[in-house]
Structure 1
């Protein structure tokens, strides 16, 4: 009879199987590390956390961009006189800087990140900015973001607007210098290249987190009235035509419609032949409704320039825009420090 082999004991068999499984898991883990490297924004040794507890948002930024930080005030187009308080994180290099005005300083700020909270709804402020300097919109972490740029001769600013809640907006600004135009900075060792600056800002935007979800506000449609070069020619200076605008739903739709009117036609509306006789820069100072009469007061710019036909067109645009609402039966229009009879005279 052949000698039977001694069977392998169950504990040894399980131990061997566990070892093989451990080696397999280790190989898979190493492969995963190679194929999916860690997000550099999570590395605390190279990045700092900016946490706005009151505003309910935070983001990470590279420590290398922070030479210092200071309380800052920023102006927002188109009302450049209105200053918004916030914080500026800036990067300086030991190179002399001379402004376009001729003022010179021993150091140059080549990169500055501004953080501000604007007490205006996102839709409202971005419409104003788009009308003043243009811009575009995208989505960042599930929220809309509007961005625009101003600049000349190698330096300027990017604006990034994101809704914080239904009544306020986050504004991040990026002040930059471009060494491809300002060639004196090409050889500056500590200068952050413009291309790298833009990459840094994109990584900051990608790292934004919010304490609460964003619920877009409800919308409503109003009409605004413009002249049109595409309609049948008429000798009627007051001939105006409606276009629809979507606005945030409000208990004051007449004011919302007036603000849309004063923004003027959009680029798409201009291409369709619509135009406004109301001068750019016109602003609504007050709008009151009593006993069916809407009393409108505008700034002086609203009546600047133009002859009698232009004045008639302006009044017609305003009146027709307001008379769309059933509670308004008549409209009185004036400019600051003038009576309705004295206003809008050629």
Structure 2
């Protein structure tokens, strides 16, 4: 009787093991089959579909200010084309302007003082030469020594005046630099994508006030899954389509590959970022940060 129970138990364990093996093996095969089917489908379509974003924050220039302060005036608006050196916005600069005016006055005073010392030295030298040209019996030695000493003193004072003039020029130069920092200008030609402040708002140097992009090109950042990199062909034709408008099809040109980043949706995978571009003038209605689907023709596997 015990042997019958033992045999029945062994048979039950064997049957359970076979069923478990088949059950665990089936989904693995199914997943592998589905993945292979997807890859096969992609190869047949000859394209990689990847998310893309235009004028991403990492691809545009963030314009900040060198000085903290309150915005007095904004000279540009969103969508405006600007040239290098064009004023973008001003900060309240009453104090620094007053300091600039004081340094200009100080420079003028230093120039006048230098001119006065030059004339004084010239006069002292003339007096000395006149005494030296007279008969020694007609000029006392004390008077001659006094004139010699006066010339020496005037030369020292002239050097001091020249030093004060150089110092005044340096102070004025610094004042001009500081004053100019209260007006932020465009560092290059471009288009204003975004303005993140308004008049009478206090801003700091670490705060991006204006986003400036290339005026002629719209940059496209494409995130390619690392599993598709082996099929990626930078020289192949590529285009983007709108998620909302399937009829929109924009050809894009490859610039270069950027860094690998961790996929936020799947932490165990990475994406390779590739940079493309297209002409801004052909699609002026597009907005920075807009998302698209990028379709890239792939490299055939060997």
Q: TM-score, length-normalised on structure 2?
A: 0.21
Tell me which protein shows more helix as a share of its residues.
2
Bigger-Rg structure (1/2): 2
Tell me which protein shows more strand as a share of its residues.
1
Q: TM-score, length-normalised on structure 1?
A: 0.19
